[in-house]
Amino acid sequence: MRNWLRLYIFLVSLFISQSIWAVEIEHGGKVSVFNSLYFTNKEQGEDVFSEIRFQPYLTLFFSDSVLAHLETDLRLDTAGYTQGYFDDVTSETERRVADIKEGYAEYAKERLRLRVGKQIFDWSVADTVSPSDNLNPRDWTDVIKWERIGIPAVSARYGYDSYCEIVWAPFFNSSIIPKEGWRWQKELARGIIQAEQDLPDRHQGQIAARFGMVWHQTDLSLSYYRGYNFSPTVEFQPTLTREILAVPIYRKLQAYSAGIAKSASGFTFRGEIGYINQRNGDDFTQYVIGVDRIWDAIFQPADSLYLLVQYTDEVETENITSHEIDLLNFRRALSKAVMLKSEYSFNNQETWKLKLEGFYNFRDKDSYFEPAVAYRYDNWETELGLGIASGSNSSFMGGYDQNDRIFLIITRSF
Amino acid sequence: MKAKIACIVIYLVILFSLSNFQAIASQLEARQIITRSFDLYRLAPYETEEIGVTVVEDNGRTQEKKIVRWLKYSNGGDKLTVKFVEPEIDKGLGLLIWHHHNSDDEQWLKLPSLHKVMRLQFSNQTKFFGGTDFTFEDISQLAGEKVENFVYSFIRKDDTGWVIKATPKSPATKTRYDYRMFWVNSNFVISRIEYYSYGQVEKTQRNSEITIDKNGLWRSNRIEVDNKLLDRKTVMTVVKRDFPTKLSERIFTTGFLTSERR
């Protein structure tokens, strides 16, 4: 048995053994199956993709103030995107077959909440695009169904409605981007080859702070981040042959951002603005404004419709990287873009839902739309949808237009 | 002749004033009863509850849910935090409501799939809450009626109690219902509420297994809602209830919704 598997089993066993000290135990999780059928045959990647995923969690409550939470993530797929097991606190450049999604101890007393361990942070106020949401790297194995990757960190939150939160993550954690041969690998121009990610020293940490408050029925937040960009940019390196290597590298950056959310007359208005200052990279101000609302009793007494519309754009203050060659920068994929998210529930049990989400990018004239139908019964949830991308090859989504697909997700919670 | 006319005018003025006074007195009395009922309901400053919820659909399908909720009652405004414990698919679903007495409520929602809390507004609050037959308006009003938004009148009064009709004071009052009828017993306990919309009863709420402490603080341990509009029934059974003298303010913040604690 390999060492990392031993370590993984040891850590999970250690956690479970602690349950004898726990006053209360809560456990559960979900099993899901994700299937995709791509309409276009592509040399790289499979036309049919299936993944099975098992995500059990265990929470131990030791007292009113102390708890420990562990969520593991076991996944296998037909394309071989998963490699290895949890053997290190930092993330890899590939998904692991067995990983710890989150695992932390929490101490909370009155105004103070301390957490130590692998955590996921979402400081966004807006949807999908957020200059405030910098801490966690992303898993873009499937660019559309991206996920945050947990990072080992120490976080402290102090306060009630007005609060301050500080996070220190001692290690660099890389995002996962599609590699050569993967279905969602970006098609680059002829003669350019995507290289392995060039990762900074793992002991490069990051720090972030946020101040939030509720003021006059408005949520306000200010945040600061210093660390690496979660999204790599491409650096070109010549080779001895005529080919050019496109090397994804991570730039150091500082981000200053502010967020606001306000409800009025049945609508909720959201906005975020952030200044991103990158070392040896573009500096830009990114902003998102949006509005959402829930309507109910539209056609039937218990139906409802949720609708979110957002606009996002950026203003470059220093341009170093050409936009045309920066197409692996997922963070900046949406500029001058309108996003839509809608969900219609036929009844208040939300058994059947119709969903439509997507965006149109005015800058590059590319788009992605995903209509879906979801059915929920007891602890089962099924979603059947279509993913349709369009745009020129030089645009962000246009580069994925061979990945139009139909997908089916079946999830059972336990 | 002039004296006669003057007498008649004075008589009419007195009569009108008296009838008007009676109407005001009656109005005040009905409103006072509702106010008294909710004052007694809100005697304790804090409350925690574990509630089992059974929803029976018209096709016989039954859904079991379990929620935990924390309440803070204060004259400045109430705060309510709800976390879903069962079914498994809803674990991680949480809601925070700040119920302001003189302005719109504030609401935040935590979805199981997200690591953040979103401020939301459920338009006119008529959306049903968590798959039950209670709307957000019901949940908010059941913790403390916004009496200034309604006109209360007696439908019936006898030795056993009162039946009081609550009608929105103005079209600006945000409510799903044309009016509601409260059955209040002599201990100021609300034993039944009928909700009317479009001129007919939409649902009937029956409060049973009533407990009253020595100060008059009352609670129902079983609330049954018969929803005629959706041909459905919701039964809420209190599994556990406490009135702690103090609850941490932390519970009524968005940060608590992102915690595993309950």
Residue A22, token pair as written in the block: 């726990």
User: Which residue in A410, A412, A296, A274 sits closest to A345, CA to CA?
Assistant: A296
Dist CA B205 CA A122 (whole Å): 40
Among positive and negative, which fits the CA dihedral A176, A181, A183, A189? positive
Dist CA A204 CA A224 (whole Å): 17
CB neighbour list of residue A136: distance below 8 Å, 6 or more residues apart: A120, A121, A122, A148, A149, A150, A151, A173, A230
| Contact (CB<8Å) A160/B253 | yes
| Contact (CB<8Å) A301/B260 | no
CB neighbour list of residue B22: distance below 8 Å, 6 or more residues apart: none
Q: Is the ipTM of this complex over 0.95?
A: no
Mean residue pLDDT across chain A = 90
Residue A2's pLDDT is 60
Q: Which residue of A has its CA nearest to B63?
A: A378
Q: Encode pLDDT of A290-318 as tens digits.
A: 999 998 888 988 888 999 999 999 998 88
User: Which residue in B199, B142, B150, B144 sits closest to B172, CA to CA?
Assistant: B150
Produce one character per residue of A252-290: b if its CB has 16 or more CB atoms within 10 Å, e if not: bbebbbbbbbbbeeeebbbbbbbbbbbeebbbbbbbbbb
- The total number of residues shown for chain B amounts to 262
* Model confidence at A235: pLDDT above 70: yes
Residue A129's pLDDT is 93
* Model confidence at A17: pLDDT above 90: no
Residue B22's pLDDT is 45
Residue B14's pLDDT is 56
Dist CA A250 CA A229 (whole Å): 6
> Which of B63, B106, B250 is facing A108, going by the closest CB pair?
B250
* Model confidence at A380: pLDDT above 90: yes
Q: Checking phi first, is residue B125 left (phi over 0); if not, alpha (psi -120 to 50) or beta?
A: left
Contacts of B255 in chain A (CB under 8 A): 113, 157, 160, 163
Residue A35's pLDDT is 97
Q: Residue B212 phi/psi, 5° resolution? A: -130, 130
What are the residue boundaries of the structural domains of chain B, listed by start? 36-257
Dist CA A92 CA A152 (whole Å): 13
Dist CA A123 CA B114 (whole Å): 11
Q: What mean pLDDT do residues B143-147 have?
A: 81
Task: Locate the DSSP E strands across A160-217.
Answer: 163-169, 192-194, 206-214
Residue A98, token pair as written in the block: 């067995």
* Model confidence at A70: pLDDT above 50: yes
Q: What mean pLDDT do residues B6-18 have?
A: 57
**B94 and B114 Cβ atoms separated by less than 8 Å:** no
Q: Please, which pLDDT band fits residue A3 given cuts at 50, 70 and 90?
A: low
Task: Locate the DSSP E strands across B73-120.
Answer: 78-86, 94-99, 106-110, 117-120
* Model confidence at A245: pLDDT above 50: yes
Counting residues of chain A whose pLDDT is more than 90, the rounded percentage is 66
Residue A321, token pair as written in the block: 């990287």
Contacts of B116 in chain A (CB under 8 A): 122-124
| Contact (CB<8Å) A160/B55 | no
CATH for B36-257 (1.10.1270.20, 2.40.33.10, 3.40.50.150, 2.50.20.10)? 2.50.20.10
A62 touches chain B (CB under 8 A): no
* Model confidence at A360: pLDDT above 50: yes
Dist CA B171 CA A402 (whole Å): 54
Residue B160's pLDDT is 86
More confident residue, A146 or A6: A146
CB neighbour list of residue B14: distance below 8 Å, 6 or more residues apart: none
Residue numbers of A between 342 and 371 with CB closer than 8 Å to B: 347-350
Burial class (CB in 10 A: 0-12, 13-18, 19+), A323: middle
Residue B196's pLDDT is 94
A386: helix, strand or coil: strand
Q: Which of A362-366, B4-8, B103-107, B119-123: highest mean pLDDT?
A: A362-366
Dist CA A300 CA B144 (whole Å): 29
Question: Cis omega before residue A170 (within 30°)?
Answer: no
Single-letter amino acid code for the residue at B71: L
Single-letter amino acid code for the residue at B170: S
Helices (H) and strands (E) in chain A, counts: 1, 23
* Model confidence at B25: pLDDT above 60: no
Q: Please, which pLDDT band fits residue A326 given cuts at 50, 70 and 90?
A: low
Q: Domains plus CATH for chain A?
A: 3-413 (2.40.160.10)
A26 touches chain B (CB under 8 A): yes
Produce one character per residue of A104-137: b if its CB has 16 or more CB atoms within 10 Å, e if not: bbbebeebebbbebbbbbbbbbbbbbbbbbbbbb
Dist CA B215 CA A173 (whole Å): 59
Q: What mean pLDDT do residues A235-247 have?
A: 85
What's the CA angle centered on B18, arms B15 and B23, to 5 degrees?
A: 125
Q: Which of A263, A350, A381 to mutate to test the interface with B (most CBs of B within 10 A)?
A: A263
User: Which residue in B93, B127, B122 sits closest to B110, CA to CA?
Assistant: B93
| Contact (CB<8Å) A160/B250 | yes
| Contact (CB<8Å) A304/B127 | yes
pTM of the complete model: 0.88
